[in-house]
């Protein structure tokens, strides 16, 4: 830096601004506990930019203004890793993990339990970050382990990558290694944008992260929601590091790096197996993809004694989870008709074990999706099944396309009732125009009507509905209330007791609430929340049935589209007949308390966390919403109050860090009662 012509107070201020901004980044992106308000951050950044414009010699590579802005490259240059970047051995069962532990103890000639560090294996891209005197000098991909590519310009744009390390005794040369990944939420948002723009979608977060780092123009990378999480050190010169792996990571965290908050120490291999199970259960809820757990001998001296074989250390292994993506063959495509007539193509697959279950069907969504995938019958496809989400076809392996692969043809008549299939302009879905003539739509409408959140008819499962419709015993939802014992008993696999139970359940379901009844009707776009808002706004069914689209749009969260569907539903004579028939059958509900202007919690966002004991979570949510509050799933500076029950974890911690009001369940109930809610 040429400091000759720069006033001392400017130099001091610039150093101060670096410090403020670096700390704010660290709080926000590494520790997840923002402290500086956004507006203040922006003011500081602008002040720094202005000073740097005035005194260009103040611009250093570690300045917080230097995250974006580098010119596009024409190619990446190669980087040699002084210490090779290794890979990991895998284990696929408890036995294989125990073998790993046994080999270690044999080699150490020890009967004692070995302590392990446990870390989720993030599914991203391995990187090496080289810091000289605490300043980021170079970032590189792993490549073949010996030679990678220089991606410094791209990596600088990631806010959780410190450009300069926080104070402390940082070794003059420090190479840190970790994973760059894209969190699930950012990935979904990125693909939503790509879909809206008609661009090609990314197959999964890992590919999206890899593609983002491979950009020659860092401005593109800067727009991608990437994260860094570090998991080891490489080359270290000068300075001392702790003797346990987990302590090294804690030290890296203090220097400014993000480490995995799930990291734990296990006292022996059994504790590792426990950890693997627990994280497996949590896998879907984690905000990022993981494909296994990495177990590492925690003692660095023991790691050194154990050394390496070929390209992997003896002291670490990755215990993999069942793969969430597999390859299989698309045998055929069939078309299913849903409750609203939507005709959905369903892929029939050669059975494949993925995400822990055998999958032989996957949804193809609609015509646009088929076009986007470019998939043909006979193709080899990649199937993804994550958690309880229905299996998806994510891509086609075009190199394996057989000569006799054939195009998927969309039917122009309903495969169930033969009514014409109509495409709605501006919509990707095609619909059977048969309405309730179509037995497929009828079945779905009845299943929905009977479901738990609707009329909650115990014992009326999907299979039974299908049987009743197929046997000609049931033609409409109101028909449910005219089913007779003899006819039910005559059904295959139906005993007298279950038939009577079903009739009792039907009788019981007649006592309902207006929101549940509205939801049960299956009006398009009217989910539980909208049904609740409609019921509360109008108070009674007749008023709602007479409302025009303008009146409907006065209801919270009801826009023109929903208003149109609601009005249209109540215009159709057969819907009115059904409602009348249901009322005749004895369906009743208490008058709904109409929502007055009284919304004392309007504008507030509340978060519920931990276990509630008196109220159920949905009751608590419902009451809060009645008083005008929004109920959100995560804590931020915008949260008004957090309700925490036993077992509350990170959300409660965050609330404390942000100094937000926290109520326990008792206090919540007192507050609700005070505002007129009867509990
Ligand atoms: S340790 C010598 N820890 O898994 C140890 N690797 O095959 C080398 N990975 O590409 C890696 N999470 O990028 C380690 N907590 C973690 C990891 C992790 C993900 C990736 C790593 C590498 C691959 C190892």
The domain defined by 324-432 folds into OB fold (Dihydrolipoamide Acetyltransferase, E2P) (2.40.50)
Residue nearest to atom 23 of ligand 1 (CA): 87
Rounded CA separation 463/679 (Å): 38
327 φ/ψ angles, rounded to the nearest 5 degrees: -100, 140
**Pair of tokens at residue 431:** 């619909």
Rounded CA separation 185/289 (Å): 11
Please give the DSSP secondary-structure letter assigned to residue 29.
Answer: I
CA proximity to 213, closest of 26, 61, 32, 73: 73
The dihedral over CA atoms of 119, 125, 130, 135, expressed in degrees to the nearest 10, equals -90
146 lines ligand 1 (CB under 6 A): no
Per-residue pLDDT reduced to its tens digit, 211-257: 999 999 999 999 999 999 999 999 999 988 999 999 999 999 999 99
Rounded to the nearest whole angstrom, what is the distance from the C-alpha of residue 231 to the centroid of ligand 1?
A: 7
State pTM to two decimals: 0.66
Q: Per-residue pLDDT for 463 more than 70? A: yes
CB 359 within 8 Å of CB 397: no
Rounded to the nearest whole angstrom, what is the distance from the C-alpha of residue 32 to the centroid of ligand 1?
A: 23
**Pair of tokens at residue 99:** 């073998």
Residue 203 is predicted with a pLDDT of 82
Rounded to the nearest whole angstrom, what is the distance from the C-alpha of residue 87 to the centroid of ligand 1?
A: 7
Rounded CA separation 111/491 (Å): 65
- Contacts with 537 (C-beta within 8 Å, 6 or more apart), sequence order: 544, 554, 555, 556, 594, 595
- Contacts with 329 (C-beta within 8 Å, 6 or more apart), sequence order: 349, 350, 378, 379, 380, 381
85 lines ligand 1 (CB under 6 A): no
Rounded CA separation 595/606 (Å): 20
Average pLDDT over residues 656-666: 92
Length, in residues, of the chain: 679
Among 85, 91, 121, 315, name the best residue to mutate to test ligand 1's pocket (greatest count of ligand atoms within 8 A of Cβ): 121
Per-residue pLDDT reduced to its tens digit, 609-651: 988 888 888 889 888 887 878 888 889 988 999 999 888 888 8
Q: Which CATH number fits domain 3-66: 3.40.50.300, 1.20.140.10, 1.10.600.10, 1.10.287.610?
A: 1.10.287.610
Residue 1 is predicted with a pLDDT of 47
Counting atoms of ligand 1 from 1, which one is nearest the CA of 142? 10
Confidence grade of residue 594 (pLDDT, cut at 50, 70, 90): low
Between residues 448 and 73, the one the model is more confident about: 448
Domain 605-674 architecture: 3-Layer(aba) Sandwich (3.40)
316 lines ligand 1 (CB under 6 A): yes
122 lines ligand 1 (CB under 6 A): yes
Among 84, 179, 235, name the best residue to mutate to test ligand 1's pocket (greatest count of ligand atoms within 8 A of Cβ): 179
369 lines ligand 1 (CB under 6 A): no
Sheet of strand 227-237, all strands in order from the earlier edge strand to the far edge = 135-141, 125-132, 173-181, 227-237
Rounded to the nearest whole angstrom, what is the distance from the C-alpha of residue 275 to the centroid of ligand 1?
A: 18
Burial of residue 301 (number of CB atoms within 10 Å: 0-12, 13-18, 19+): exposed
- Contacts with 48 (C-beta within 8 Å, 6 or more apart), sequence order: 14, 17, 18, 21, 63, 64, 65
Residue nearest to atom 17 of ligand 1 (CA): 121
- Contacts with 642 (C-beta within 8 Å, 6 or more apart), sequence order: 606, 607, 608, 609, 635, 651, 652, 655, 660, 661, 662, 663
297 lines ligand 1 (CB under 6 A): no
**Which residue among 50, 121, 184, 583 is the active-site one?**
121
Residue nearest to atom 1 of ligand 1 (CA): 231
Between residues 389 and 260, the one the model is more confident about: 260
Domain 514-584 architecture: Orthogonal Bundle (1.10)
Pairing of strands 116-122, 264-266: antiparallel
Q: 10 Å Cβ neighbour count for 226? A: 25
**Pair of tokens at residue 555:** 């209801």
Rounded to the nearest whole angstrom, what is the distance from the C-alpha of residue 661 to the centroid of ligand 1?
A: 40
Q: Per-residue pLDDT for 2 more than 80? A: no
CB 422 within 8 Å of CB 430: yes
- What are the beta bridge partners of residue 179? 126, 229
Beta strand extents in 305-413 (DSSP E only) = 308-309, 312-313, 316-320, 325-337, 342-354, 357-363, 380-384, 392-396
Rounded CA separation 629/535 (Å): 17
Q: For the chain, which residues make up each domain, given as ranges?
A: 3-66, 89-320, 324-432, 435-509, 514-584, 605-674
48 lines ligand 1 (CB under 6 A): no
What helix, strand, coil percent values describe the chain, rounded to 5?
Answer: 40, 20, 40
The domain defined by 89-320 folds into D-amino Acid Aminotransferase; Chain A, domain 1 (3.30.470)
CB-facing half-sphere around the CA of 567: CA atoms within 13 A? 14
Tell me if residue 121 is catalytic.
Answer: yes
Residue given tokens 């080891």 in the structure block: 232
Confidence grade of residue 110 (pLDDT, cut at 50, 70, 90): very high
DSSP states of 581-624 as a string? HHHHTT-B-PPPPPP-S--TTTT-EEEEES--SSS-HHHHHHHH
CB 392 within 8 Å of CB 386: no
Residue 356 is predicted with a pLDDT of 81
User: Quick one: which H or E segment has residue 479?
Assistant: none
Rounded CA separation 139/142 (Å): 10
How far is CA 121 from each of CA 104, 236, 596, rounded to the nearest angstrom?
Answer: 21, 24, 52
Tell me, rounded to whole angstroms, the distance of Cα 540 from its chain centroid. 38
The rounded percent of the chain whose pLDDT value lies above 70 is 98
Confidence grade of residue 136 (pLDDT, cut at 50, 70, 90): very high
302 lines ligand 1 (CB under 6 A): no
Rounded to the nearest whole angstrom, what is the distance from the C-alpha of residue 289 to the centroid of ligand 1?
A: 14
90 lines ligand 1 (CB under 6 A): no
Among 123, 232, 318, 320, name the best residue to mutate to test ligand 1's pocket (greatest count of ligand atoms within 8 A of Cβ): 318
Backbone CA torsion sign across 159, 163, 166, 168? positive
Confidence grade of residue 387 (pLDDT, cut at 50, 70, 90): confident
- Contacts with 402 (C-beta within 8 Å, 6 or more apart), sequence order: 378, 379
Q: Looking at the domain covering 435-509, what would its CATH class be?
A: mainly alpha
Domains 514-584 and 605-674 share a fold: no
Confidence grade of residue 668 (pLDDT, cut at 50, 70, 90): very high
């Amino acid at each position: 830096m040429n400091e000759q012509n720069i006033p001392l107070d400017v130099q001091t201020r610039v150093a101060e601004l670096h410090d403020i901004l670096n700390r704010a980044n660290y709080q926000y992106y590494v520790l997840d506990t923002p402290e500086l308000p956004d507006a203040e951050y922006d003011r500081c950044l602008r002040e720094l930019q202005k000073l740097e414009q005035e005194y260009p010699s103040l611009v250093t590579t570690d300045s917080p203004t230097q995250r974006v802005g580098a010119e596009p490259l024409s190619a990446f240059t190669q980087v040699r890793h002084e210490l090779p970047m290794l890979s990991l051995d895998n284990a696929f069962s408890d036995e294989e993990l125990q073998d790993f532990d046994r080999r270690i103890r044999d080699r150490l000639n020890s009967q004692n339990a070995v302590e392990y560090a446990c870390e989720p294996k993030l599914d991203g891209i391995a990187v090496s970050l080289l810091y000289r005197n605490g300043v980021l000098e170079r970032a590189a991909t792993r490549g073949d382990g010996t030679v990678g590519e220089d991606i410094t310009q791209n990596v600088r744009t990631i806010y959780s990558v410190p450009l300069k390390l926080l104070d402390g005794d940082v070794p003059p040369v420090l190479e840190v290694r970790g994973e760059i990944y894209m969190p699930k939420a950012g990935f979904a948002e990125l693909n939503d944008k790509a879909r809206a723009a008609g661009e090609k979608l990314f197959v999964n977060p890992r590919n999206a992260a890899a593609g983002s780092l491979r950009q020659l123009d860092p401005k593109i990378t800067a727009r991608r929601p990437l994260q860094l999480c570090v998991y080891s050190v490489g080359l270290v010169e000068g300075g001392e590091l702790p003797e346990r792996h987990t302590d090294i990571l804690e030290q890296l965290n203090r220097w400014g790096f993000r480490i995995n908050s799930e990291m734990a120490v296990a006292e022996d291999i059994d504790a590792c197996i426990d950890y693997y199970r627990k994280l497996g259960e949590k896998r879907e809820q984690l905000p990022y993809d993981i494909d296994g757990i990495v177990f590492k001998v925690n003692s660095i001296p023991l790691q050194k004694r154990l050394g390496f074989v070929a390209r992997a250390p003896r002291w670490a292994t990755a215990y993999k989870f069942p793969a969430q993506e597999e390859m299989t063959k698309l045998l055929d495509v069939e078309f299913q008709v849903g409750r609203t007539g939507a005709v959905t193509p369903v892929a029939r697959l050669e059975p494949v074990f993925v995400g822990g279950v055998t999958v032989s069907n996957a949804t193809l969504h609609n015509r646009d999706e088929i076009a986007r995938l470019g998939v043909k019958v006979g193709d080899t496809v990649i199937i993804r099944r994550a958690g309880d989400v229905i299996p998806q076809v994510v891509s086609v392996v075009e190199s394996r396309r057989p000569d006799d692969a054939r195009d998927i043809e969309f039917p122009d008549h309903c495969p169930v009732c033969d009514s014409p299939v109509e495409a709605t302009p501006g919509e990707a879905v095609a619909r059977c125009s048969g309405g309730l003539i179509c037995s497929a739509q009828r079945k779905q409408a009845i299943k929905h009507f009977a479901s738990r959140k609707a009329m909650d008819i115990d014992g009326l499962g999907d299979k039974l509905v299908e049987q009743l419709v197929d046997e000609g015993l049931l033609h409409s939802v109101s028909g449910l209330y005219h089913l007779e014992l003899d006819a039910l008993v005559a059904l295959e696999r139906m005993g007298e007791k279950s038939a009577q139970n079903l009739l009792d359940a039907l009788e019981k379901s007649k006592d309902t609430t207006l929101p549940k009844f509205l939801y049960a009707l299956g009006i398009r776009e009217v989910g539980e929340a909208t049904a609740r808002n409609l019921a509360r706004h109008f108070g009674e069914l007749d008023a709602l049935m007479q409302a025009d689209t303008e009146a409907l749009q006065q209801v919270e969260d009801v826009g023109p589209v929903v208003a149109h569907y609601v009005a249209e539903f109540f215009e159709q004579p057969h819907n009115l007949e059904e409602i009348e028939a249901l009322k005749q059958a004895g369906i009743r509900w208490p008058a709904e308390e109409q929502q007055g202007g009284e919304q004392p919690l309007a504008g507030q966002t509340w978060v519920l966390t931990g276990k509630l004991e008196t109220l159920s979570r949905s009751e608590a949510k419902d009451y809060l919403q009645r008083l005008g509050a929004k109920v959100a799933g995560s804590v931020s500076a915008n949260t008004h109050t957090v309700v925490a029950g036993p077992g509350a974890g990170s959300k409660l911690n965050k609330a404390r860090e942000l100094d937000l009001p926290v109520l326990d369940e008792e206090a919540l109930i007192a507050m609700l009662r005070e505002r007129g809610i009867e509990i």
